[in-house]
Amino acid sequence: ITKGGAELARRGRGDYFGELSLKTGAPTIASVSAAADGAKVIRMDRGAFQRLLGPLDSLLALRKYTASGVEVVDADSFREDSLVGGSDGAVPEDFVFQKAVDELKLSDFDVTRDTLGEGAFGKVRRCVYKKTGRIFALKQMVKADIVEMGQVEHIMQETQILSSITHPFITNKFGALVTPTNLVLIMEFCPGGDMFDQLYKHKRFALADARIYTMQVLLPLEYLHAKGIVHRDLKLENLLVAQDGALKLTDFGFAKHIKYRSWTLCGTPEYLAPELILEKGHGKAVDYWALGVLCYEMINGYSPFEAEETLQTYQKILDGTVNYPSSLDSDAKDLISKLLQKDISRRLGNLLGGAKDIKNHAFFADVDWANPYHLRGSILPTAFQRASYEWVGAKNVVVETKKMKDEDQCLFKDFTV
């Protein structure tokens, strides 16, 4: 850094310059040149900085410039979460989900022979915990298939994240167990199926319902992001309807703790944010983009980016052109457009206020955010009748089939933690 031909200071990896201009908007008073071997710099304009991080004054207290270099002061006072916006994601004090306290065994459960669904590694069935009579969903996964498909890290990541979270609008994990050839997750049971089937049945949702359902997705996202977790696969199929009509976010197979950015391409095409498609690095903003897609789908009955081919879907997303029906509520349109914002420095939810910016939007003007957890949409599943099903011991259904190498067993040693 030079001024009038005289060297003032040198900067290296992790340093910054230009903060005076960023703060005041005044022209720079010094020149910065790259060393002989070059340098890679990342630029942020004043508007983006203030939208994402707020006023510069409080951040400047971290570092003082002297004529000879840089002095770092009170770096611990800078909260990591200030890089990703301010929302606490608090769970209501009266919410309690009782997780398993004893070591679980297959013999603790009876299951139905018919399945709720089938995934890449196994099946999901209704089950009853015989000690209490509580109904859960039992997700069976074949170890050998997980290893063969290179998904050990994803599966372990999912169960560890599920162990660390509890929320009224998330399918909570009761417990887990391991057999010689299977992994078993015991999850909350949601008899209403998923929102993809519900939307197909209803064609579209009334605005009041869409508002409540969008809220019931926003709250768990706020909670997850406060913990540094990004879901990365938000879609209708991953929203289940509980017995009381509440939505429950499920499937944490792509969820990840992200401190700054991740580079993995993952998710479902019609819900992918532009930065995911372009592999530019991503964070929690991808969940808010997907929230915009969900809100659009629930109100209109179809995706804003649907196309016959995946590449056409990607092109529509990258073009950023969304067709809004003329009948669409103006507040809903404004919210969706601010969530489907290509520029992450302008995307609602990713700014300094975090999820609070979305809560304060006019679309949610009628929502009492002090007590939103009692609100329900019009979907109410038929009461689950345990007597309507034939129950058999889980050991008779979750059988040992595809064996794996003994040396691979250690890959799953922390699955039940």
pLDDT band at 31 (very low <50, low <70, confident <90, very high): confident
Largest CA distance in the chain: 87
On the question of pLDDT at 102 being above 70, the answer is yes
What is the CB neighbour count within 10 angstroms for residue 305? 23
On the question of pLDDT at 29 being above 90, the answer is no
Residue range 394-411: average pLDDT? 92
Q: Which of 110, 233, 251, 357 is catalytic?
A: 233
233: annotated active-site residue: yes
Greater model confidence, 278 or 12: 278
pLDDT digit string, tens, across residues 225-272: 999 999 999 999 999 999 999 999 999 999 999 988 898 889 999 999
| Per-residue pLDDT, 247 | 99
pLDDT digit string, tens, across residues 293-347: 999 999 999 999 999 999 999 999 999 989 999 999 999 999 999 999 999 999 9
Greater model confidence, 217 or 12: 217
| Per-residue pLDDT, 60 | 55
pLDDT digit string, tens, across residues 270-280: 999 999 999 99
Assign domain 106-189+384-412 to a CATH class. alpha beta
Please name the helix (run of DSSP H) or strand (run of DSSP E) that holds residue 286, with its range, or none: helix 285-300
On the question of pLDDT at 406 being above 50, the answer is yes
DSSP at 3? E
Q: Is 356 exposed, middle or buried (0-12, 13-18, 19+ CB in 10 A)?
A: middle
Q: How far is CA 373 from CA 214, 288, 325, in A?
A: 13, 20, 30
Q: Are 143 and 183 in contact (CB under 8 A)?
A: yes
Please name the helix (run of DSSP H) or strand (run of DSSP E) that holds residue 51, with its range, or none: helix 46-53
Any idea which of 25-29, 38-42, 97-101, 212-216 has the lowest mean pLDDT?
25-29
On the question of pLDDT at 76 being above 50, the answer is no
Output the CA torsion 220→97→244→240 (10° steps). Answer: 50
| Per-residue pLDDT, 59 | 56
Partners of residue 128 on adjacent β-strands = 110, 135
Distance CA(359)–CA(353), nearest Å, equals 10
- What is the second-level CATH architecture of the domain 195-364? Orthogonal Bundle (1.10)
pLDDT band at 47 (very low <50, low <70, confident <90, very high): low
pLDDT digit string, tens, across residues 185-239: 999 999 999 999 999 999 999 999 999 999 999 999 999 999 999 999 999 999 9
Strands (E), 213-304: 229-230, 239-241, 247-249, 256-257
| Per-residue pLDDT, 41 | 73
pLDDT digit string, tens, across residues 128-164: 999 999 999 999 999 999 999 999 999 999 999 999 9
- Of the candidates 45, 175, 32, the one whose C-alpha atom is nearest the C-alpha of residue 97 is 175
Binding-site sequence positions: 139
| Per-residue pLDDT, 138 | 98
Where in the chain are the domains?
A: 2-78, 106-189+384-412, 195-364
Distance CA(126)–CA(114), nearest Å, equals 8
Structure tokens at 267: 């998710």
Q: To 5 degrees, how large is the angle CA 210–CA 192–CA 188?
A: 110
Task: Report the percentage of the chain scoring pLDDT > 70.
Answer: 85
Distance CA(234)–CA(272), nearest Å, equals 9
Strands (E), 207-278: 229-230, 239-241, 247-249, 256-257
Residue range 371-380: average pLDDT? 96
Binding-site sequence positions for ATP: 139
